[in-house]
Amino acid sequence: MMAQYLALKAEAGDCLLFYRMGDFFELFFEDAKIAAAVLDIALTARGEHGGEPVPMCGVPVHAATSYLQRLIKAGHRVAIAEQTETPAEAKKRGGSKALVGRGIVRVVTAGTLTEEALLDSRAANWCVALGEAGGETALACADVSTGRFEIVRAEPSALPAEMARLAAAEVVASEATAYPEIATALRPKTEFDSAGGEARLKRLYGVATLDGFGRFGRAELAAAGGLVAYLEHTSKGALPFLRPPVVHASAQAMAIDPATRESLELCCSQAGERKGSLLDAVDRTVTGGGARLLGADIGAPLMDRAEIDRRLDLVQSLHDDSALRERLRGTLRALPDIGRALGRLAAGRGSPRDLGQLRDGLDGAWQLGERLAGVDRPPALLADLAPRLRGHGTLIDLLKRALVPQPPVDASDGGYIAPGYDAALDDLRDAGSGGRRAIAALEGELKARTGITALKIRHNGVLGYHVEVPARAADPLMRPDSGFTHRQTLAGVVRFNTPELHEVAMRVTQAGSHALAAEAAHLEELTARALQDRERIADTADALARLDVAAGLAERAAEGGWVRPQLVDHPCFEIEAGRHPVVETALARQGERFVANDCRLSEDGRLWLVTGPNMGGKSTFLRQNALIAVLAQAGSFVPAARATLGLVDRLFSRVGASDNLARGRSTFMVEMVETAAILAQATPRSFVILDEVGRGTSTYDGLAIAWAVVEAIHEENRCRCLFATHYHELTRLAERLPALSLHHVRAREWKGDLVLLHELADGPADRSYGLAVARLAGMPPATVQRAKSILAKLEAGRQKTGGLAAGLDDLPLFAAAAQAEEPAPDPLRAEMERLDLDALTPREALDTLYRLKALARD
């Protein structure tokens, strides 16, 4: 057995090997140690190898899915070694001591999952292959759970952005790749040969030429070939369903680099969760397919204005017709996920329930298509989608006749083929049930004949049907002339067989096994019939998803008072009463109102310099406008009173502090790298938000960098930009940069407290309110007072000498010296400064005088 195991382990390579032994998958050696630690199961030992005990652990076959889920989530891949023959077949082949044959039937990896329990129903699961040839790069992307297959043409510089958009579960590349840092699995170089890739695609789709799918470069063929080869490897020849490839160019979508995607939290928060993201705030879809498509739309906003308007027209139609929207959403909510059911069937991992889901989903889609066909003056996109919901009548009728209303997940026990579909199967079932009635009658006869009222006819997997009596009543049945044959003695009971029971049991067993075989044959036939229409079924699933996205966006727009954005060709950005969709949702849960703000960027005012206090809302204002651009080009209404936007080709966000210490980058270094990328890539059609550039270094260095960046964006990039800063010196740039406009977030001090209004106003802020924010944050009063005195000296020195650091020499370093130089706060003066004389009643004024007199006496 160990020789067989070691041979299979060598084939599995770096995968953990699940070695089937009866009702368990066993793991040995280092695999066992890894699995025991991840799964928190007992690590034991079995026999010896090389003079050492062999570590071992195992998981039950019936519960393997849950254990696989934990191993895959921990970053492991698992090879499944199943028994390829029965013990009887092995005995017939090699005698009584022959080892049952085993082989690896599947490699389970994060990017090749199809099982419901292992997947997030509301997120795509991409397996991506990187192709490189002639200095060019491309990505081949497959979601094997639904059959989606895309090829992305991407410049090497665009690879990080594309990888961030896809959020791939697995990335495969050649072992000779120039980008090993993005790969999770490396495969032989020969699998990424462009000529071999072309041959694999032709063989996969049974065509002599690929011209019908588009024109492919060498890098694209290398990527596609590498992906297909990897899927063949993991499925051991049972290649999953892949629809014909759809070719995309990265320029077809708004370019969003990884830093911007993370900063704006488009599809997941910076904590890595869906909750708190833009997608979470927008998503009102009611199907898994719709949720997956919405995530794709937000992750890759379109650059095709006509297609965006087609999406917006459909959202507009459903927004205006609330009755149609509610009926549509109600129907969609009841439909199963036919895309993933089809994926499981195509991968050979389907069940009777998956066929039932196809039946119910296609039937519901047909009825929905019939209703939508009657919509008066439908928008163009709806007119295109409605016919794709119909046309499966023959398959629906077949599955309705063939399957029971609620087919089971497990096919091994049968019971999923409907009565009346197959007369021969019905006869076998009748024979089985008649045999069971005969067994019940025989039990009564044997009780009467033996006089043993406790006699029972039972069944188990080892003995089959047998007679069971209490041990105290077994002696008469042991006699040779009793007609009973002894089978087994246990504590308290003895088991027998009889010729009559054997005859009836044979009829029941044979009828049952024949019925199971007949049902299995029907299951195979029905699956094959369904897969004949897999392209059209997948097209129907896509149409349902698009309808769900549109209805969900219409629901979100009606719920939040969102408006349709107007898209124009020139690079303007005019938002009236814009709001941040995520922050507004969070405030609404707390019963608070979001303060809306306008943003108007045009050719003569394309760069806004925004000043004001921390916590005043600058970052929120910057982000909300970037998110409005994303939503508009994804085909959604936007949270505003009015919105007119020119298309954004590239979106950049440099907001918030972060570091990458693993790559040797400090917070300031990361900021500079991201800012450099913006200056190198932003075009006049881009939209950029920058917050506090230069704050991570010395004051003079930071101011100089921020100054130069503003000038570069204004003069060189000429893009639409919101630039938030605390460097008030930058406001002087408005005197010589004609497209620079000054704005600030409003704040007021009231009775010693800072009141943040979160409103945007024209002009620069009068000051930063830094000390007021520090006090608001709970900084100790003595520290705030000390900072106030230091600030006074700094400002006095700057006014006297023109230097920021002037006066610092007069400041003591330690607290003791500070206390000697600075007088203690005067409580009487502090009390008087806090008084609001106009607000005092006569009685309060008298009480205040007594209190002040007491303070003066103290």
Of 1-15, 61-75, 282-296, 738-752, which range is least confident?
A: 738-752
pLDDT at 71: 95
pLDDT at 507: 80
Answer yes or no: is 447 a known binding residue.
no
Edge-to-edge strand ranges of the sheet holding 456-460 = 456-460, 464-470, 493-497, 485-490
Contacts 24+ apart (CB under 8 A), 325-328: 325/551, 325/554, 325/555, 325/558, 327/371, 328/368, 328/372, 328/547, 328/551
More confident of the two residues 227 and 99: 227
| Domain boundary assignment for the chain | 2-108, 116-252, 288-392+533-558, 423-525, 566-774, 826-858
Q: What distances in angstroms separate CA 717 from CA 414, 556, 690, 710, 742, one per listed residue?
A: 68, 35, 14, 10, 19
Per-residue H/E/C for 709-764: HHHHHHHHHCCEEEEECCCHHHHHHHHCCCCEEEEEEEEEEECCEEEEEEEEEECC
Q: Which of 183-197, 755-769, 806-820 has the highest mean pLDDT?
A: 183-197
Q: Which of 211-215, 399-403, 439-443, 503-507 has the highest mean pLDDT?
A: 399-403
pLDDT at 332: 97
Of 132-141, 367-376, 485-494, 792-801, which range is least confident?
A: 792-801
Average pLDDT, the chain: 88
| pLDDT exceeds cutoff 70 at 659 | no
Q: Which of 122-126, 629-633, 665-669 has the highest mean pLDDT?
A: 629-633
| pLDDT exceeds cutoff 50 at 586 | yes
Q: What distances in angstroms separate CA 820 from CA 811, 813, 816, 817, 824, one per listed residue?
A: 11, 12, 6, 5, 9
More confident of the two residues 552 and 414: 552
pLDDT at 435: 74
Place 768 in a pLDDT band, splitting at 50, 70 and 90: low
Q: What is the mean pLDDT of residues 636-645?
A: 97
User: Rounded CA gap, 278 and 630, in Å?
Assistant: 10
| pLDDT exceeds cutoff 70 at 664 | no
Q: What angle do CA 214, 217, 222 make, to 5 degrees?
A: 110
**CATH (one of 3.40.50.300, 1.10.1420.10, 3.40.720.10, 1.25.40.20) for 423-525:** 1.10.1420.10
| pLDDT exceeds cutoff 90 at 752 | no
| pLDDT exceeds cutoff 70 at 812 | no
Which residue carries 């998110």 as its tokens?
A: 627
Q: What is the mean pLDDT of residues 719-736?
A: 92
- Kindly tell me the burial class for residue 644, based on how many C-beta atoms sit within 10 Å of its own C-beta (0-12, 13-18, 19 or more): middle
Answer yes or no: is 435 a known binding residue.
no
pLDDT at 256: 94
User: Rounded CA gap, 328 and 324, in Å?
Assistant: 6
Place 800 in a pLDDT band, splitting at 50, 70 and 90: low
Q: What is the mean pLDDT of residues 365-392?
A: 92
| pLDDT exceeds cutoff 60 at 821 | no
Q: What is the mean pLDDT of residues 484-488?
A: 91
| pLDDT exceeds cutoff 90 at 148 | yes
Answer yes or no: is 97 a known binding residue.
no
- Residue-wise pLDDT for 329-351, tens only, equals 999 999 999 999 999 999 988 99
Answer yes or no: is 619 a known binding residue.
yes
Q: What distances in angstroms separate CA 786 from CA 608, 754, 777, 797, one per listed residue?
A: 34, 19, 16, 17
**Fold adopted by 566-774:** Rossmann fold (3.40.50)
Answer yes or no: is 478 a known binding residue.
no
Of 647-651, 688-692, 824-828, which range is least confident?
A: 824-828
pLDDT at 413: 83
pLDDT at 817: 38
| pLDDT exceeds cutoff 50 at 662 | no
pLDDT at 832: 77
pLDDT at 824: 55
pLDDT at 157: 85
Do 116-252 and 423-525 fold alike per CATH? no
User: Rounded CA gap, 296 and 252, in Å?
Assistant: 13
Edge-to-edge strand ranges of the sheet holding 566-568 = 566-568, 642-646, 573-578, 597-601
**CATH (one of 3.40.50.150, 1.10.10.10, 3.30.420.110, 2.40.50.140) for 116-252:** 3.30.420.110
β-strand 24-28 against 52-60: which pairing, if any? antiparallel
- Does domain 288-392+533-558 fall into CATH 1.10.1420.10? yes
Is the pTM here over 0.95, yes or no?
Answer: no
Place 660 in a pLDDT band, splitting at 50, 70 and 90: very low
Phi, psi for residue 441 in degrees, rounded to 5? -65, -40
Answer yes or no: is 612 a known binding residue.
yes
Phi, psi for residue 776 in degrees, rounded to 5? -65, -30
Contacts 24+ apart (CB under 8 A), 48-51: 49/2
| pLDDT exceeds cutoff 60 at 813 | no
Answer yes or no: is 613 a known binding residue.
yes
| pLDDT exceeds cutoff 70 at 419 | yes
- Residue-wise pLDDT for 285-338, tens only, equals 999 999 999 999 999 999 999 999 999 999 999 999 999 999 999 999 999 999
| pLDDT exceeds cutoff 90 at 747 | no
| pLDDT exceeds cutoff 70 at 766 | no
Share of the chain above pLDDT 90, in %: 62
**Fold adopted by 2-108:** MutS, DNA mismatch repair protein, domain I (3.40.1170)
Answer yes or no: is 163 a known binding residue.
no
Place 814 in a pLDDT band, splitting at 50, 70 and 90: very low
